[in-house]
Amino acid sequence: MKPEVNTVNRRVEVKYKPSFWKNSLNVRTALLYLFPSILLFAVFLFYPMFKTIYLSFFLTDQQGTPAIFVGLENYLYLFESESFRKSTKATILFVLYTVPTGVVISLFLALLANEKLKGIGFFRTIFSSTMGISVAASSVVWLFLFHPSIGMFNRVLGLFQLAEIQWLLDPTWALISVAISTIWMNTGFSFLIILGGLQNIDGYLYESAKIDGAGYWYQLRRITIPMLSPTLFFIITISLINAFQTFGQVDILTKGGPSESTNLIVYSIYREAFINYQFGTASAQAVVLFLCILVVTILQFKFGEKKVHYQ
């Protein structure tokens, strides 16, 4: 009986050895394929992130070299700073202006473009064309449109004998003007994603609803919006993150003015670091912005995802 037991034990040992080596080989192969991505993330994402957190606890010289450890004083300075409070307020207002309006406009355009009409492909191309224009180029165009004397908007107001508006020079209108240009720039991407979501909805749902006598608005509320909810959830999340990170159009249109009414947090970080050479304070602002985006994203997933209907 003993030789049989030993034979069985040896067979068991031999049976599991190939599986172990095979798994190790799979892990090494996977790491080899992932190494380029891990290297890029480490160099361009993880290192800058940890370096920013590190610098936020120091006062630095003009080259960005840490000079004096100050702990949380940079953060305390921010929350006591009137300029940072204005930046925070402007950023929140900018997000409220751009995200809901941009999503609604994109949804409206996608619903129009989803109709089976002759020549609708031309309008789909026009609606999505803003994706192919850089932020710098489109901002220059909007700069001329908002010009107080030769801009198109004031010329239109003049036709109706209305008072001219200092679009980019009046603190009341400057943030709204930047928001309008941003909505136009982001509409193409949102429109294209929503249109793709609309075209993935099964047509038999609409056919069944028509047989039951449901009208267009009922189909929109009961079929289109629920079935489109994953796409809308994605667009809203991406739009929120992009709105918090807006920089290019602010730099070209207003430089954060007038009276810091358009000094969004990202532009405030840029100005603090590369104009005032206060890299410690700028790093602290970047950390605060990261935490704000993180909290907003978590809340979006916690509460917004509950209303998402997956097929």
| For range 9-32, the mean pLDDT | 65
Residue 173 has pLDDT above 90, yes or no: yes
Count of beta carbons in the 10 Å neighbourhood of residue 25? 10
Examine residue 100 and say whether the peptide bond preceding it is cis (omega within 30 degrees of 0). no
Neighbours of 76 (CB within 10 A): 12
Between the CA of residue 71 and those of 57, 79, 278, 281, what are the distances in Å?
5, 15, 15, 12
pLDDT (0 to 100) of residue 62? 85
> Residue 147 to residues 136, 141, 169, 180, 231: CA-CA distances in angstroms?
17, 10, 10, 14, 37
Q: Which residues are within 8 A (CB) of 243 and not within 5 positions of it... i.e. 6 or more apart?
A: 94, 95, 98, 99, 182
On whether both 117 and 210 belong to a single domain, the answer is: yes
Q: Is the pLDDT of residue 190 over 90?
A: yes
Could you tell me if 232 and 277 are in contact, meaning their C-beta atoms sit under 8 angstroms apart?
no
- pLDDT tens readout for residues 71-101: 899 999 999 999 999 999 999 999 999 999 9
Q: What is the CATH number of the domain that holds 168?
A: 1.10.3720.10
The reply to whether 149 falls in a domain is yes
Whether the pLDDT of residue 10 is over 50: the answer is: no
Averaged pLDDT for residues 222-227 = 91
* Average pLDDT taken over every residue of the chain: 89
Whether 51 and 104 share a structural domain: no
Can you read off the two tokens belonging to residue 206? 């609409």
Q: What is the pLDDT of residue 18?
A: 54
Distance CA 267, CA 247 (A): 6
pLDDT of residue 22: 62
Residue 308 burial (10 A CB sphere; 0-12, 13-18, 19+): middle
Domain that holds residue 9: 2-55
Give the chain's largest Cα–Cα span. Answer: 109
13 pLDDT exceeds 70?
no
Domain assignment present for 75: no
Domain count, the chain: 2
In a domain, 186, yes or no: yes
Three-class SS of residue 4?
Answer: helix
Instruction: Report how far residue 133's alpha carbon sits from residue 185's, in angstroms, rounded to the nearest whole number.
Output: 8
Q: pTM of the entire structure?
A: 0.88
Per-residue confidence (pLDDT) for residue 311, from 0 to 100: 63
From the list 240, 115, 137, the residue with the least C-alpha distance to 190 is 240
- Cα distance between residue 299 and residue 77, in whole Å: 27
Residue 205: what pLDDT? 87
Same domain, 210 and 107: yes
| CB-neighbour burial class of residue 21 (10 A; exposed 0-12, middle 13-18, buried 19+) | exposed
Residue-level pLDDT at 198: 93
Q: Is residue 285 part of a domain?
A: yes
Question: Are 18 and 159 contained in the same domain?
Answer: no
Same domain membership, residue 301 and residue 181: yes
